[in-house]
Structure 1
Amino acid sequence: MMDNKNITWHEGKVTKQHRQALNRHKSAILWFTGLSGSGKSTISVELEKKLYEIGFKTYRLDGDNIRHGLNKDLGFSEKERNENIRRIGEVSKLMVDAGILTLSAFISPFKLDRQSVREMMDDGEFIEIHVDASIEACESRDPKGLYKKAREGKIKGFTGIDSPYEAPDSPEIVIDTESLTVDESVETILAYLHDHDFFS
C-alpha cells in the first residue's frame, strides 16, 4: 500500500456548493441496488432522460459499462466485488463534488460495501434505491441469459444463485418492479427528489 505521509489535500477556491449553485440543483448519488434483471439499468436510463429534459446535470454509471474500462481488471470474487464498489463509490463522490446528480446502477450485493459508500458522503447525498424483484421474476426475465448460464454451472458466484444478495434494511426508496412500470418507477424517484428540495 502507498505511504500517504507525504500526500496533502490541496483545497481549491470553487466548492461543491458553488457548483451546485451554478447548476441550480443539489448533487447526490442515486444508488440503484438489486438483483441482475431487477430493472436497475432500465430505470436509471429512463430517469436520466427525464432529469435531462427537466434541466438537471447528470451522469449515469452502470455496472457493465464500468467493467469495460475503469474496472476491467476486476473479476467477480467477493474481494474484487468489494473493490469494484469502492472504486465506484470514489468516482461517484467526485461526481457529486462536481455538482452532478449521479445515477449509479450496480448489483452491489453486500450491505457493508453500500454502507461504506454512504459513509463517504455528506448527509442526504447517498440515496439508496432498492430495485426490488424476486429471484423468480428476475430469472424469468433473464435479459442477458446469465441466470441460465449460472444454473448450468457456466458462471460461478452469481448473485442470487450461489452468491448472496443482501437487501437494504432501510433504503430511501423501494421500487417494486413486479408491480410498478418503468414510468411509475421514474415518477416515484422524481417525487422523492421533489420532496427533498432537489428542484430549484
Structure 2
Amino acid sequence: MIFAYNKAHVGDTLIVMMADDKGLEQTVERKFNIAQIKNSAGTIVGWNFFHVSEFLSLTGSGAISLTDEQIDLLNEKLAISGFSEKLPYDHAPHFVVGFVKSCVPHPDSDHLSITQTEVDNGEVLQIVCGAANIREGLKVVVAKPGTMMPDGMLIWPGVLRGVESYGMICSAKELELPNAPQKKGILELSQDAVVGSEFKLA
C-alpha cells in the first residue's frame, strides 16, 4: 500500500494505491470527498481522499508514511461516507537490505539475471535484475512490491521476458542518494548490513 501526497502539483488529495491495476479498465465510485477506484476485475486498486487537509495534517511530498491514528481517521471518513471497506495498518518498510542467495542468467536474455533474494523475516523474493554487477552473495537494497521510487515509479509484481519478478534491486542513482555515481550498476552494501533492516533514503 502506497500513500502519496503532493499538494503543489496534484492538489489537496491523498492518493492511496492498493494494487497494480494491471492495465485493466477502471471504474470510480465517489461518495462525498472520497473516491474508490476499482479495475474491471473488481479489485480495489486505490482511493482518493479530496480536501484531506481539512481533517488530516500531512507533511512531505511524494510517498509518505501515516501513523495508525491517521489511518484510523481515514477509516472513520470511509465509514461516514458510506464505504464498508477499511484501510489496513501497514508499517513494513518498503526499502530493505536484501541478500542475493542465488543469481543465474535469464534463459531469454543476454543481460538479465534471475535472483533469489532474501529480504525481511526470512522471505525470499524472485527478482529479475539487469545490472551487470549483480551476483550471488551481495548485500543490496530491495524495493519491495508496493513501493514508490523517488522518481514516482511504482514497483509491483511483474513478468520480464516470461519470468516473474517481485521487486527491484536498486542502484544509488535510482534511490536518488546524495553523490550517487552516474555509472550503471546496483548499489553494493557492506557485508555488515543487516538483512531485512530498513534502508532509509534520507
Q: Report the TM-score when normalising by structure 1.
A: 0.26
Larger strand share, 1 or 2? 2
Identify the structure with bigger relative contact order (alpha carbons < 8 Å, sequence gap 6+): 1
Q: Report the TM-score when normalising by structure 2.
A: 0.26
Larger Cα-atom Rg: 2
